[in-house]
Amino acid sequence: MKKVYLMSVLAMLSANAMAAGNFTGASVGLDVEAARYQDKMAGLDSKASGSAILKGDVGFDYGNNLVGILETRAKLHSSKVLKENKDFSGSAKQKDKYTLGYAQGYRVTSDLLPYVKVEYQNSKVAFSDSEVSDNFSKRFNGFGVGVGTKYAITSNVEAGAEYVYSRLKKGDDKLSGNAFSVGVAYRFK
């Protein structure tokens, strides 16, 4: 009896995902992100940085045009995020950034999905001070909130834009960031 129940639940879920329309099922994609970070405790100035982001997600249709999206993202290369100022003679590079997030969207039309998002972030930042030859790195953790939109160009290809504000922390060090990204994704049907 348990096997029959499990099989019927799986059949309903797969039928629902197939009939749900755009933005549901698994996808992979690539984003281009522009970000600015600020370290108020250390008084470091922000520097705009650009990055390529690899992403994957799974979209779920909840009915009534509601779509939930579970997403993971990984930064593909390091970028300089903090720069010299009068108190600091070095720089800081964001070596990596990994995120796990959830977005809740509403289909305005069959091809347009605006959404709000919350995500957990984990990022390694390497600091270097040219005056004292001091190099060290810290792994920051925190959360981000954002808004965005996805547009289905075809049933498999989507374009999107997103803004995320984040607060990261390691001990007493705190980073706040603003990131804007645009990208494309291929959704498997």
CATH number at residue 168: 2.40.160.20
pLDDT of 45: 64
- Name the residue range of residue 106's domain: 2-187
Confidence check: pLDDT of 7 > 60: no
- Name the token pair of 154: 């075809």
| pLDDT-based confidence at residue 70 (cuts at 50, 70, 90) | very high
| Residue 66 CB neighbours (<10 A) | 12
Which whole number is the average pLDDT over 123-129?
83
Taking only the tens place, the pLDDT of each residue in 14-69 is: 444 444 579 999 999 999 999 988 876 666 667 778 899 999 999 999 999 999 99
Best mean pLDDT range from 123-127, 132-136, 145-149 = 145-149
* DSSP classification of residue 107: -
For the full predicted model, state whether its pTM sits above 0.85.
no
Q: How many structural domains does the chain have? A: 1
pLDDT of 11: 47
Which whole number is the average pLDDT over 130-140?
75
| pLDDT-based confidence at residue 106 (cuts at 50, 70, 90) | very high
| Residue 189 CB neighbours (<10 A) | 12
| Residue 1 CB neighbours (<10 A) | 5
pLDDT of 84: 64
pLDDT of 189: 80
Give the residues across from 171 on adjacent strands. none
